[in-house]
Amino acid sequence: MKQPVRVTVTGAAGQIGYALLFRIASGAMLGDDQPVILHLLDITPAMDALQGVRMELEDCAFPLLAGVVCTDDPNVGFKDADYALLVGARPRGPGMERKDLLEANAAIFSVQGKAIDQNASKNIKVLVVGNPANTNALIAQRNAPSISPRNFTAMTRLDHNRAMTQIAIKTGKTVNDVTNMTIWGNHSATQYPDLFNAKVSGQTASDLVDQAWLEGDFIPTVQQRGAAIIKARGASSAASAANAAIGHVRSWALGTEGDDWVSMGVYSDGSYGIAEGLIYSFPCRCKDGEWEIVQGVEVNDFSRAKMQASEQELAEERDGVKHLLP
């Protein structure tokens, strides 16, 4: 049996937390030979609810669950953490854009970045889910100078999964036939889901649909899916968000499949002309616990314009939180 690893989940008493923790404890994220110690971090008023979650985790008798720590103290929450899923943040309501949450949520990620810097393993892998995820990841990263910027990522896997299903439905196939999907940019309404490189049963996806559907239906559906769920459910996506978080960390820790890739918000090294240092979603392959941006993906003029619009938005978000970026 492997030694247990410590996995911190913030916002653990919230709705994504409830859909996430039981799957982590079951082995779905890190493999069924990897015991975990869960560190559940939330705010003080949520501590009673968090104890309820702990009791339910205990009641599952998961063979891989080697311990549960519940806390409202970030220093305890991130102590020796090997993985952190930063979920705890306010969700948006109807009519809001995700960046409207920046003011409410940004400070959380500055505090947590510092606590990660001071307490966590230097090899910690961090996934930011709380919105606006890319810029919150940037804030956490910049407040943790002793840890490689490569260790801070933001979640666009939910957008990636949404895009895979939309093209599968349109072409009468299943997600098993879809490969090489890419979400470029920000987890926001400017994100760009790319059908020019995606494949369905080995064929280029954009060749299988007309441009009017691609521009007028596919792209807006993926960009606006979060808002559509809020409108329908009265609450933002939770089970699908948790599922995407599991997928993101699993790909990062255990590797991507064959030649395929996944979408991850990662520290830009200037690839594809995207400003260095932004947390931008690129096509990534993972191996041995490291991600790399896939190079040589074709970018036509249509794609280039959309990628730049999302980059521009991320630069504006970054400039809006300058006071939190040491």
Ligand X SMILES: NC(=O)C1=CN([C@@H]2O[C@H](COP(=O)(O)OP(=O)(O)OC[C@H]3O[C@@H](n4cnc5c(N)ncnc54)[C@H](O)[C@@H]3O)[C@@H](O)[C@H]2O)C=CC1
Q: Which residues bind ligand OAA (CB under 6 A)?
A: 91-92, 98, 131, 158, 226-227, 229, 236-237, 241
Structure tokens belonging to residue 256 = 């991507």
Beta strands in 155-195 (DSSP E): 178-179, 182-184, 192-194
Provide, rounded to whole angstroms, the least separation between the CB of residue 15 and ligand X. 4
234 annotated binding-site participant: no
**CA–CA dist 62, 53 (Å, integer):** 14
Tell me whether residue 255 is annotated as binding. Answer: no
Question: Which of ligand OAA, ligand X, none interacts with 242 (beta carbon under 5 to 8 A by kind)?
Answer: none
Whole-angstrom Cα distance, residue 276 to residue 315? 11
Minimum CB separation of residue 236 from ligand X in Å reads 5
Query: In terms of CB distance, is 84 or 158 closer to ligand OAA?
Result: 158
- Tell me the C-alpha to C-alpha distance, in Å, between residue 105 and each of 74, 89, 90, 183: 15, 6, 7, 24
CA–CA dist 276, 299 (Å, integer): 18
Q: Which of residues 86-125 bind ligand X (CB under 6 A)?
A: 87-92, 108
- Is-catalytic flag, 39? no
Distance from the Cα of residue 245 to its chain's centroid: 6
* Residue 205 binding: pick among ligand X, ligand OAA, none (C-beta 5-8 Å cut-off by kind): none
Question: Any binding-site annotation on 180?
Answer: no
187: nearest Cα among 149, 138, 234, 131 = 131
* Binding-site partner at residue 271 among ligand OAA, ligand X, none, CB < 5 to 8 Å by type: none
Residue 16, contacted partner among ligand OAA, ligand X, none, CB below 5-8 A by kind: ligand X
**Residues noted as catalytic:** 187
Binding-site positions read 11-17, 92, 98, 105, 112, 129-131, 162
